[in-house]
Amino acid sequence: MVRRRLIVCGFENSERASTRLVADKDDYLKGRYGLSLELVALVDIGGAAIAEGESLPIIELLSHVEKGGTVETFAKIGHAGMTGVEVIARVNAHVLIEATPTNLATGEPGRAHIMAALDKGMDIVSANKGPLVLFYKEINELARARRSGIYMSAATSAALPTLDVGLTSLAGSKVLSIEGILNGTTNYILTRMHREKCSYDDALKAAQEMGIAETDPSLDVKGWDTRNKLLLIANRLFEGNFAPEDVEVTGITGITLDDIEAAKVEGNVIKLLGTAKQDDDQVMLRVGPEALSREHPLATIDYAEKAISFLTDTMGRITVSGGKSSPVGAAAALLKDLINSSSSLDSLS
């Protein structure tokens, strides 16, 4: 039996779902993978809970929080004001699950958590894009020096297996280009415009009413979310050190119904794509609306669905789509990375 002691930083919806998933699948993980996942510390904005025995009582802790309690007020094992860095220094663990809110200005506090954990030789499973987008080179170099793994499925389109396919299924092939519909909100808006001939504003409003789009949809509709995911995928698959400024970004805010209809007349459909193309030793990164022919494998990906397509030198084109876009889907991606990190399938070491 392989035991993996976990520290979780951040306890929003997807992280609550992931801790519940770990508890619910405990017997399955032990029987199928010989893997025992033990949550030994949990950090949230107000403090932490640290296990006194082998692991935290996940179900009781979840119930406490769902009833309006906080992590730091959980009976006997709560510690008000304790930071993630302090917990990482104090508690012996194998894996940090970094799930604090994404900060694309400074990357904090996620960056500090990741660097502290890597200093101790821990593996990192991250749902937080911020530190990896802004400080990939620094984090990658320290991970290699400490022989630690960086796993980020939940940060690269969650349940859609982007990195898994590129790193494992395409092993031995050279990836020539990557094209992805990596943001469900923009794809939903463009699909509504194409299928129902509604304006951008009306399609956005519908997405907001359904909870698909945020009240401030800038991160999605201006292409930044797609850029961030593309950066992470390209850095891993092309072994690069690309930064946000290396990506040409155009969002969908300028797309009109006339544009949609003009593309339709030509037999095309407009999609927001994240594209990485390798030409000799150069990799060109771009995010922007593209008019795709109906024969293109991404042309039929509609509404909030996501997909990624790889063009390779020996396997041809490989396209995958789907994956649950929800806290449960993100939780499943975190769990997948925990399983893979235990068997070193995707380790940087």
Would you name the residues annotated as active-site residues?
A: 229
CB 190 within 8 A of CB 255: yes
Which residues, 6 or more positions from 210, have their beta carbon under 8 angstroms from its beta carbon?
Answer: none
C-beta atoms surrounding 161 within 10 Å: 20
Strands 247-249 and 175-181: unpaired
CA separation for the pair 66, 181 (Å, rounded): 34
Of 19, 271, 298, 320, nearest to 165 by C-alpha is 320
- Rounded Cα distance between 318 and 174, Å, is 12
Alpha-carbon distances of 128 from 113, 155, 169, 257, 267, rounded to whole Å: 11, 6, 25, 35, 39
Instruction: Say which residues have a Cβ less than 8 Å from residue 255's Cβ, sequence separation at least 6.
Output: 190, 193, 200, 270, 289
In the sheet with 95-98, reading across from the earlier edge strand, the strands are 78-80, 47-50, 35-44, 2-9, 95-98, 123-126, 150-151
Task: Tokens for 160, please give them.
Answer: 């859609």
Cα separation, 137 vs 241, whole angstroms: 6
Reference 213, options 178, 247, 251; nearest CA is 251
The region, left, alpha or beta by phi > 0 then psi within -120 to 50, assigned to residue 344 is left
